[in-house]
Amino acid sequence: MAGKKGQKKRVCSDDEKLSICALARVSGVSVAQVAQVARRYAMNTNLIYK
């Protein structure tokens, strides 16, 4: 998976992945809030849904 020119692929630890998913899966979280979580961690929103 190639990133944009000049960007390095981000590598997350398992603990970091779990914490990001936990933030996005809280009851009552909207799609916009999930997008905010993704932006906070410089991720594509689609990665959180996988």
The two tokens of residue 38 are 């993704």
Query: What pLDDT is attached to residue 40?
Result: 87
CA–CA gap between residue 23 and residue 19 (Å, rounded): 6
Tell me how far apart the alpha carbons of residues 31 and 34 are, in angstroms, rounded to a whole number: 5
pLDDT mean values, one per 10 residues, the chain (50 residues): 63 84 84 86 78
- The pLDDT of residue 50: 62
What is the Cα–Cα distance from 5 to 28, expressed in whole angstroms? 36
- Enter the tokens of residue 48: 């959180």
- Six-digit token string for 39: 């932006």
pTM: 0.60
Domain borders along the chain are 14-49
* Alpha-helical segments (H) within the chain: 14-24, 31-40, 45-49
